[in-house]
Amino acid sequence: MTKKNIKLQSDIPAIRTVMMPSDTNPMGSIFGGRILSLIDLAAGVHARSVAPKRYVTKIMREVNFIAPVSVGDLVSFYTKTVKLGTTSIAIRVDVEVHRGVDLVEVVSVTSAEVVMVAVDDQKRPIAIL
């Protein structure tokens, strides 16, 4: 079997998950840190779809939470390449939730730009392509 790069479509989320009670803070909404972790994960999935390498996160830019996430929300993380460098890739991650029993209410939650760097086994930067 030959290896083939998978190109993720921007209208298909890199990851999608349902928020559970274990993800909540004392105020009853989902921890911002949990969303940040999932943004990082989505960016990593996207980077590997562009070029199958090992990546580390260098920067997460301008994360602005504009709406809370609640238990039961279906959270989608949409990604797209912003810039492809020699050893790094900048990825835009847009986060939205579908909420309600029928999941028809769609709310934009946050977005971020994540820069991932391809690394070798010794964690040194390597060329992506």
Helix or strand run (H / E) with residue 97: strand 88-99
Cα separation, 33 vs 23, whole angstroms: 9
Please give the structure tokens belonging to residue 48: 């590997």
> What integer pLDDT is reported at residue 10 of this predicted model?
60
* Residue, of 20 and 103, whose pLDDT is higher: 20
Residue range 6-15, pLDDT digits in tens: 444 567 899 9
Cα separation, 88 vs 66, whole angstroms: 28
Mean pLDDT value across residues 90-113: 93
The answer to whether 70 touches 19, Cβ cutoff 8 Å, is yes
Q: Is 35 helix (H, G, I), strand (E, B) or coil?
A: helix
CA nearest 35: which of 24, 47, 46, 21? 24
Q: Is 34 helix (H, G, I), strand (E, B) or coil?
A: helix
Please give the structure tokens belonging to residue 36: 């940040």
Q: What angle do CA 82, 62, 56 make, to 5 degrees?
A: 60
Q: What global pTM score does this model have?
A: 0.89
* Residue, of 8 and 95, whose pLDDT is higher: 95
Residue range 26-76, pLDDT digits in tens: 888 999 999 999 999 999 999 999 999 999 999 999 899 999 999 999 999
